[in-house]
Structure 1
């Protein structure tokens, strides 16, 4: 709740600056609705991503630990309800996208939290395996994937650390990357994007992503 309040307050004060691919003359990729958001590492950063979508006026469904079966259920997440170690929310426009409509985009918020994984009954290894299956399914079904790393330097670490393992698992296999400059000081995301030919948008602040999402999903 505190994170949500601070983000909305910052937006209302107008501290929104837009940088990235389009600012440098490069075209932003386009993605389609409906959207599923999820966490890659179970950090609270996915809450920030959800708030950003809300501020951009974009509907979405959210599940913290979706399996391939949950993703395949489409909009409404098969009417699954939140419970211990599982959280689901439906915010898609059901008038436009009735329950069961296949998701066209999956947004993964990259950032590890041992506390978050523990609450979901996951180890780092189990989270890596879940994410790999999810990304493999998205590739097979031609579902557009966006990796978002907006936790900055606090969601980085030494090679082999939990945060870096989440980056290794997700970043090289998505269709589009959005990262903050603070989280890309060593150029790691830039290197991954160049090697894998993945479009990359780098922003100063997480809230800059509001305008990016508006353009990506217009």
Structure 2
């Protein structure tokens, strides 16, 4: 009996601590890109399936951000073709997302960073963008195939960021439901 009491006492002490480690997010959401790859469009589909209230603005700038938005999901993946189509170079994209995320932090908007296109969307520029945005994140979501070298695990550990690693891109839908408690 005494062992059971001690066990439950320990649980009561630690459960609130563990509960605080996992962030929660509110809607409405803005989905944007860091690198202009197709990943942001994929996130749009996943957010639709998760019943999130969102706008899709791959080129949103800090000036267009209002405190009506509660969360930004920024999907990292550099595409030279996507950047070219948007009329941006890498430095302009870095400037845009730095300004956007700094403004988000300033006005209390939470930030989710996602890398959901796997190893095929990793590379020098994508990694530079990740190193730029992860320090400002409240949550990082990555696919296992995009983290085979533990790049995101190490980066999140160094920055003390909460990370969720999923097996497949489609699994992100359930993660969104979990963190947003969609439909409630």
Task: Give the RMSD, CA atoms, in angstroms.
Answer: 1.5
1:34 aligns with 2:45: no
In structure 2, what is the Cα distance between the partners aligned to 1:204 and 1:191? Answer: 18
Query: 1:29: Cα distance to partner?
Result: 2.0
Unpaired runs of at least 5, structure 2: 1-17
Q: Which runs of 4+ in 1 moved over 3 A?
A: 25-28
| Corresponding residue for residue 211 of structure 1 | 174
In structure 2, what is the Cα distance between the partners aligned to 1:115 and 1:165? Answer: 17
Aligned length: 163
Query: 1:55: Cα distance to partner?
Result: 0.7
| Corresponding residue for residue 95 of structure 2 | 129
Equivalent in 143, 149, 163 of residue 109 of structure 2: 143
| Between structures 1 and 2, the one with greater helix share | 2
Query: 1:28: Cα distance to partner?
Result: 3.9
Query: 1:124: Cα distance to partner?
Result: 0.3
| Corresponding residue for residue 43 of structure 1 | 37
| Corresponding residue for residue 176 of structure 1 | 139
Task: Please show how residues 29-178 of structure 1 align to structure 2 within 5 Å.
Answer: 29-72=23-66, 102-157=68-123, 161-178=124-141
In structure 1, what is the Cα distance between the partners aligned to 2:118 and 2:156? Answer: 17
Q: Is the partner of 1:148 in helix, strand or coil?
A: strand
Deviation track 1:123-157 (CA, whole Å, cap 9, x = no partner) reads: 00000011111111111111100000011001112
In structure 2, what is the Cα distance between the partners aligned to 1:46 and 1:61? Answer: 11
| Corresponding residue for residue 5 of structure 1 | none
Query: 1:34: Cα distance to partner?
Result: 0.8
Q: Is the partner of 1:138 in helix, strand or coil?
A: helix
Query: 1:172: Cα distance to partner?
Result: 2.2
Q: Is the partner of 2:65 in helix, strand or coil?
A: helix
